[in-house]
Amino acid sequence: MPSHIEPTAASVGTGLSRRQVITTLVIAAAAPLLSPAAALATKGPSRGLHDTGGRVNIVVPDNYDPFARTSRTTYRAKLTKATLRFVEQGYGGRNMPIWGKRLDQVDLEKRVSNLAYWVLAGVEQHAGIWPMDPAWVMAQMMAESFFYEFAISWAFAVGPCQFIPDTARGYGMLVAGDKPEHFASPYAKAELAPRYKDYLQARSKLSDLRKSYAAEGILPPEKAGEKSWRETLREILDGGTSKAERYLEYLELAEKHNMELDAARNDFTDYMRANFEGRDIFRKEDNNFLKAFDGRVFYREPCSSMVRMLAEGLRARSGNIIAAAASYHAGLFSTRDVGCYEPYGRLPPIESTVTYVSRILVNHHEIVARMG
C-alpha cells in the first residue's frame, strides 16, 4: 500500500464538492488564539490551541493535549471537514492558489483526509519534543502548498510540506536528482537534471562576488544598518571615477550571474514538472515511479518531518507558535531575540515571512471555527 495512504480504507465524507507594523499585524491576526467567547462570538464554540480566558496567547503549553476532548478519529473527521469547508467558502467557483484549478476539478477531500491522518500520527509521534496543534499544522500546510503534492517553489521546495532539498535529505527523503538514474531515461527531460548543480554554482558565484566587493567597500555589508546605500554612494562619489567604475563592474557581473541562476532554476524546475506531469500519487504505477524519484510528494515522511520541525521550533522558542512557524519558513536563526524576549524568539522582519505567518493565523482561525 502506498506510503502516503493510511493503512485503513476509511475516508472522511463531507458532501462538499508581512517593521513596525508587525506587532499590530500579529495581534490583529491572532484572533484564532483568543478564547472562544472573544474570538468566535458569532461562530460558536472554538477548540483553538487552548483556552486562554480572553487573553491573546501565542504560547502552546508543554502539557497541551489536542485529543483531551475527543478521539483522534473524531478529531480527524472534524479537521478534514472544517478544512474543506473553509476552502469551499473561500474558493468556490474560482481557481485555488498553487493548483490553478477549481475545487470541483480536484479531489481535495481525499488529499486533506489522508494528510490529516498523517499529521495526527506525527503529532502523537513527536509529542515528546513539544505538543503540537494539528489544526495549526494543516493551516500552515495550506499556506505552504494548498495541499498540492506537486507544488514547486522558486527554492525547489516540493510537496505538501514544501521541504527544500537539503532539509529533505536531512530527514531521509529522496530528492529529484539524487540518484544516477535520474539523469537518464525513463525520466523526462533528463538532460536538464544536471542544471541543479549549475544553479548551486551560480548562487555560490553570486555570493562570493558580493562578499568580495563588500570587503572593498564598494557594497554595503550583508547586515542591514552597518552601512546604508546612501553612505556607499557618497563614498563612491568622493572616491572619484575609479570607485564608480568598480561599482558598475560589480553590477554587470552580478547581472550575469543572476541570469545564469535564473536560467538554471527554470531548467531544473521544468525537469521536475515534466516528471510530475500527469502523475497521480494514488495510482500504483505512478506511486512506484514517484517513490524512486522524489519522496517529498508523499504524505507520511513529510508530515512527520514537518510536525517534528515545528515541535523542535516550539521547544527552542518556549512554545511560541509564531516564532516556530516563522522558523519553518525562514530558519530558526532568524527568529532569535534578546533580553526577556530571548526564550520566546520573535517574528523576523522579513516581508514574505510576515505575510506567511499572518495567513497561517487566519487559516487556523477559520479551520478551528468550523470544527465546533
pLDDT tens, residue by residue, 153-192: 999 999 999 999 999 999 999 999 999 999 999 999 999 9
First to last CA, the chain: 33
- Give the pLDDT score at 22: 38
Burial of 24 (0-12, 13-18, 19+ CB in 10 A): exposed
Residue 188's CB is within 10 A of a number of other CB atoms, namely: 16
- Give the pLDDT score at 232: 62
- Give the pLDDT score at 300: 98
Which contacts qualify for 124-130: CB closer than 8 Å, 24 or more apart?
Answer: 124/72, 125/304, 125/307, 125/308, 126/304, 126/307, 126/308, 126/311, 127/311, 129/308, 129/311, 129/312, 129/314, 129/315, 130/60, 130/62, 130/311, 130/312, 130/314, 130/315, 130/319
DSSP state of 335: G
Please state, in angstroms and rounded to a whole number, the distance separating the CA atoms of residues 73 and 12. 10
- Give the pLDDT score at 39: 35
Binned average pLDDT, 10 residues per bin, the chain of 372 residues: 39 39 39 36 41 67 93 97 97 94 96 98 98 98 98 98 98 98 97 98 94 81 53 67 78 94 98 98 97 98 99 98 98 98 97 97 96 89
- Give the pLDDT score at 273: 98
Please state, in angstroms and rounded to a whole number, the distance separating the CA atoms of residues 268 and 35. 47
- Give the pLDDT score at 242: 74
